[in-house]
Amino acid sequence: MDENMRDLLPQDHIHIENDEEELLWNALNDNDHHTRGHANRRDISQAHAPDIPSNELPSLRSHVHLPAISSICRDVITSTKIAWVKQSNTWRSGNNRTSKTTNARVATRTHTSNNVPDEQGRVPHLDGFLISLYNYYYHKGFWSIVTVELVSLITGFFSVSLSSFLLGCVEWRHLIHCSNGLHESKDCQHDLEHYVSCKAGMVPSSYHLVVAFYFSTFLVYWFFRSMQLVRTLRETREMGKFYHERLHIDERQVQTIAWDEVVGRVLDLLGANVPNNVKQISSYRLQIDSTLLSNPHDFARRIMRRENYLTACMNHQSSFFRGLNILHPRLQFASITQVMFSRNMECNLNICLVDYMFDTSSKLSESFLSNVHTLQKRFMVAGIINLVLMPFILIYRIFHFFFVSAQEWHTNRTHYFGTRRWSSYALWKFREYNELPHVLDARIARSYPMADKYLALFPPGAFAIVAGGISFCASSFMAVLLAVSLLEESILLETTLYGRQLLWYLTVATALFALSRSFTSAQPPFLLEGNCEEAMLKLSGATHYFPKEWRGQCHTFETRDEFASLFPYKAILFAQECLSVLMAPYILCVSLPNCAQELLSFLSSHTLTLPNVGSVCRFAEFDFKQYGNDRKMQSSFVNFKQNHPKWTGGEQGESLLQRLGQLKEEEMEKSGRMADTFYESQFLTASQQLLQSQAIHCALSRPQDNEFYWLEKLQLQLAESTCHEDQEESKQNDESEDEAV
């Protein structure tokens, strides 16, 4: 078999006892790894279930398209591999019995990959069950999932069909020729169908072949997604029955119920939360060892197993996804971090890295960690595929962005072209360990108005002033043309100016008005309450991101520019995504292979293997003994505790919460003493009373529910105390040296 084909394919499959069948399936596996997944397990939920490779588990579907693309790529690769092996064995032996056996085994594996518990409460794979359980909750039930998936398929097919029609069927040359002042010519006085021709002729041009390949490629993708949707909806319906019959949560309740409540009801089916003296409604029990699933952290560590590793990689101080490790200095013409953390690169990393990390027992595969060459080859093959598909992906993105922008013209009448969004890089910086997607979505939704308020505190600058002037001129011209059209509507169509109809000028003026209005300031910054430091502090309560470099510098334009790079306009985000598509072949073929060894070393050194659980990211286990000063882990622990108040963490984590509570009480006592001093100070001057009232207001207006704020304040106190101790120690050493002299 071709080595390139072998390296791209899953490495773990079910054991086959028959000798002749084993020869075939050993060809599907790495020679040194095919029997790894057959170890006996003490997990009750998997005692009678086949081992399922981690790359065949359901994806955490926080986005509609990314998991679908990853799953489709896995299906296509696996199908290609099986077809390759079948054909090779047919050529060699001419015996069709192995092919039939292979088809039967594939059908068996497809059938047994259901992640919903059966009538006896047996769970084929615990990770797959929890991910499917959460996907159903996150997308709010069966009919919501059906609607989202169908609308996504229809809009995707419509976008590709319309863009293919505009590129390949419309004779733009004739239309442009008629628009250049020749619209009164007889050759231009035709219906629109005269300028539409989808026939490329007997010998189609290379341009039409490219358009046809573009449409065919996305048509194949659309077909595979449709087939995948059927399988997804079948499993979703089964999960809906489990919610309704076993958890007693119907289709309407799942729209508003809290995830913590769902976790509690699942634990009730294990008998973990039910007292012995309480009569139970149902005798149905999940055949899962209660020691493996006893609290919300057990749910999160399995659901977010793969995402936690990516979060650790992209937030680590010595991250290899930035700077000179990715691009040559001559190619550093754009923010490489924004390019590297784009949706396009996220999808590539999922396909090349994450899908191959774990074996059938959810442990980091030893062959994956030890075989750097395989990972490098996988990156290079993905880069070649990205290079081939680059023009078609760009065409689709351009048309899709144009269609989405046209939709937002009617839904957002304030910022037509200037709506800001968090970049993918910012979302990865904000994401925390064991943070489920719905929690992150809630934080991000709360952050948007606060981010806009922080940027509004800065003066608009000359660009906004010029945009206001353009907006005034364009709107005035629009008003004149609209007033004229009220007198006689044919004037816009029949009257020309410099060879153009007035309707054309009205369209241009409308576009200029929409564009310029997006960049004008809604209100002067001096009318807004608060200052830059307070605004950033409140914003950090939602984003949980406040770098050291920004502290005390939030009023500077340097900090403002750094923040704006995380919160750019949608048009800039679109340009970064397109740049990511252009740079993906180079990054995958050249940059990431050079970082492969460092990447594998990082994964190996930050992995903790738990009995019957598998490999988990050490940061996600809140290992304060090894990473006690890691702020991302501390913030993740506090955030997880906020979303699951009944959960009890480790001793060091709980002591951190106690210190935060003590800090709150101390600050409130200080505020109370300041207020008492204010009322007792009757002989203060007016200026002194004003200064004191401002100090009291500042103390009392601290965000009491912003745990991230108090965590940052605690870190500052610890840093100051450490610095003070170091100074005292150095002072004592100097004094002792002087005495010795």
The predicted-structure confidence for 380-392, as pLDDT tens digits, reads as follows: 999 999 999 898 8
Q: Is 255 left (phi over 0), alpha (psi -120 to 50) or beta?
A: alpha
Tokens 């863009």 identify what position? 163
Q: Which residue has the higher pLDDT, 696 or 632?
A: 632
Average pLDDT, the chain: 75
Digit-coded pLDDT (tens) for 570-584: 888 888 888 889 888
Tokens found for residue 464 = 């906004």
Residue 294 CB partners (closer than 8 Å, separation 6+):
267, 270, 272
Residue 681 CB partners (closer than 8 Å, separation 6+):
688, 689, 692
Q: How far apart are CA 387 and CA 654, in angstroms?
A: 50
The verdict on residue 353 lying in a domain is no
The verdict on residue 516 lying in a domain is yes
pLDDT score of 119 more than 50: yes
Q: How far is CA 269 from the centre of its chain?
A: 32
Q: How far apart are CA 269 and CA 262, in angstroms?
A: 11
The verdict on residue 123 lying in a domain is no
Tally of domains in the chain: 1
The verdict on residue 632 lying in a domain is no
Distances (CA, A) of 647 to 16, 266, 640: 43, 15, 9
The domain in which residue 540 lies consists of 435-577
pLDDT score of 110 more than 60: no
The verdict on residue 587 lying in a domain is no
DSSP 588: I
Element (H, E) at 608: strand 607-610
Comparing CA positions, the residue from 43, 51, 61, 49 lying closest to residue 11 is 51
Enumerate the H helices of 242-304 as residue ranges. 259-269, 296-303
pLDDT band at 653 (very low <50, low <70, confident <90, very high): confident
pLDDT at 533: 84
Digit-coded pLDDT (tens) for 88-101: 666 655 544 444 44
The verdict on residue 5 lying in a domain is no
Amino acid at 463: F
CB 142 within 8 A of CB 229: no
The verdict on residue 6 lying in a domain is no
Its pTM stands at 0.78
pLDDT at 202: 46
The verdict on residue 714 lying in a domain is no
Digit-coded pLDDT (tens) for 586-643: 889 988 898 888 889 889 988 989 888 889 998 888 888 777 777 888 888 888 988 8
CB 338 within 8 A of CB 423: yes
Q: How far apart are CA 129 and CA 266, in angstroms?
A: 11
pLDDT at 77: 63
Digit-coded pLDDT (tens) for 438-482: 999 999 999 999 998 898 888 877 777 888 888 889 889 889 888
Q: Is 88 left (phi over 0), alpha (psi -120 to 50) or beta?
A: alpha
